[in-house]
């Protein structure tokens, strides 16, 4: 989850037929019907210090595994951010224990928090830094939402050639007027030829792998794991300040699911 400074509004359609979930098999899911499954989810704790304070984005939250910040409730995963005596507390979990996936459809059904300074995300990082440190080995942002730009949902990639630090961000956004009032399904579909982003099955952005692409443009030929987190403030989320009266704020996730074609590389 990185600061998306520049977004492209033009979609490049995949050079291969669009992936369809009916051509894939459900290979993993979590419906959050019981306690958080720690065999599937790693709980991140702390504020990134001393090596990565603010998680590279000057974020204000400290992540905890406390019930106030992270719990299952009524068949949902609840990530709740609170104003603390000094700063904020929130939660972040990853599917690193599962070993990651290469290609497929990765989805969640969720209701997003609102309020200036909120920054929930659903994203993916590589299991290994195969091509080097960020952004060389890639990042896939399936869903990001910043509270000062309410209901505008973003999907992006980060690579050595395409990232905000050099003014070459690749991504798209769309308006979902009920993002914080209703549950919606946020997905990325990914194969060796490209990716597409959908909300409730409707495509709003696609990125094609060009012929002759190197790892600088396309490092997405390796397993990636999924991440759910709720940041507060930061370079992007806090670009217009943080409204402390918006907290506590809830990020509610109904489920996370992964589909793959039978012939696709897996874990």
Q: Is residue 14 part of a domain?
A: no
Average pLDDT over residues 42-57: 94
Sort strands 92-94 and 194-199 into parallel, antiparallel or unpaired. Answer: unpaired
Average pLDDT over residues 167-174: 94
Record the tokens describing residue 61, joined without a space: 């939250």
pLDDT band at 241 (very low <50, low <70, confident <90, very high): very high
Average pLDDT over residues 234-252: 97
The domain of 186 spans 21-260
Catalytic status, residue 144 = yes
Catalytic residue among 139, 160, 173, 217: 139
Catalytic status, residue 139 = yes
> What local confidence, expressed as pLDDT, does residue 262 receive?
78
Question: Prior bond to 50 cis, omega within 30?
Answer: yes
Q: Is residue 16 part of a domain?
A: no
Q: Is residue 5 part of a domain?
A: no
> What local confidence, expressed as pLDDT, does residue 11 receive?
38
Q: Is residue 184 part of a domain?
A: yes
Residue 246: CATH number of its domain: 2.60.120.200
Give the H/E segment covering residue 234. Answer: helix 234-237
Average pLDDT over residues 53-65: 96
Q: Is residue 1 part of a domain?
A: no
Q: Is residue 61 part of a domain?
A: yes
Q: Is residue 13 part of a domain?
A: no
Rg for the chain, CA atoms, rounded = 17
Q: Is residue 183 part of a domain?
A: yes
Q: Per-residue pLDDT for 12 more than 50?
A: no
Q: Per-residue pLDDT for 186 more than 90?
A: yes
> What local confidence, expressed as pLDDT, does residue 267 receive?
54
Average pLDDT over residues 202-215: 97
Task: Say which range, 9-13, 20-24, 84-88, 198-202, has the weakest mean pLDDT.
Answer: 9-13
Are 243 and 119 in contact, with CB atoms under 8 Å apart?
Answer: no
Query: How many domains are there within the chain?
Result: 1
Predicted confidence (pLDDT) per residue in 95-154, tens digit:
999 999 999 999 999 999 999 999 999 999 999 999 999 999 999 999 999 999 999 999
- In percent, the amount of the chain with pLDDT more than 70 equals 90
For 10, 35, 193, 210, 226, the CA distances from 213, given in Å and listed in that order, are 20, 43, 10, 5, 24
> What local confidence, expressed as pLDDT, does residue 23 receive?
87
Catalytic residue among 80, 144, 173, 252: 144
Distance CA 150, CA 55 (A): 23
pLDDT band at 256 (very low <50, low <70, confident <90, very high): very high
């Amino acid at each position: 989850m990185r600061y998306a400074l520049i977004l492209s509004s033009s979609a490049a359609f995949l050079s291969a037929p669009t992936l369809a979930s009916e051509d894939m098999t459900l290979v993993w899911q979590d419906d959050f019907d019981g306690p958080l499954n720690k065999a599937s989810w790693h709980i991140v704790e702390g504020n990134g210090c001393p090596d990565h304070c603010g998680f590279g984005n000057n974020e204000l939250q400290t992540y905890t595994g406390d019930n106030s910040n992270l719990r299952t409730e009524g068949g949902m995963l609840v990530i709740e951010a609170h104003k603390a005596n000094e700063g904020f507390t929130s939660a972040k979990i990853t599917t690193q224990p599962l070993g990651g996936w290469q290609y497929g459809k990765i989805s969640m059904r969720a209701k997003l928090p609102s309020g200036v300074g909120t920054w929930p995300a659903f994203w993916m990082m590589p299991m290994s830094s195969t091509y080097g440190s960020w952004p060389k080995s890639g990042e896939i942002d399936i869903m990001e939402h910043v509270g000062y730009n309410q209901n505008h949902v973003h999907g992006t990639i980060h690579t050595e050639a395409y990232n905000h630090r050099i003014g070459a961000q690749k991504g798209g956004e769309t308006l979902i007027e009920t993002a914080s009032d209703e549950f919606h399904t946020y997905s990325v579909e990914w194969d060796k030829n490209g990716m597409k982003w959908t909300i409730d099955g409707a495509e709003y952005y696609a990125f094609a792998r060009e012929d002759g692409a190197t790892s600088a443009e396309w490092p997405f030929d390796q397993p990636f794991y999924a991440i759910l987190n709720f940041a507060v403030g930061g370079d992007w989320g806090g670009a217009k300040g943080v409204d402390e009266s918006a907290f506590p704020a809830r990020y509610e996730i109904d489920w996370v699911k992964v589909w793959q074609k039978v012939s696709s590389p897996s874990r």
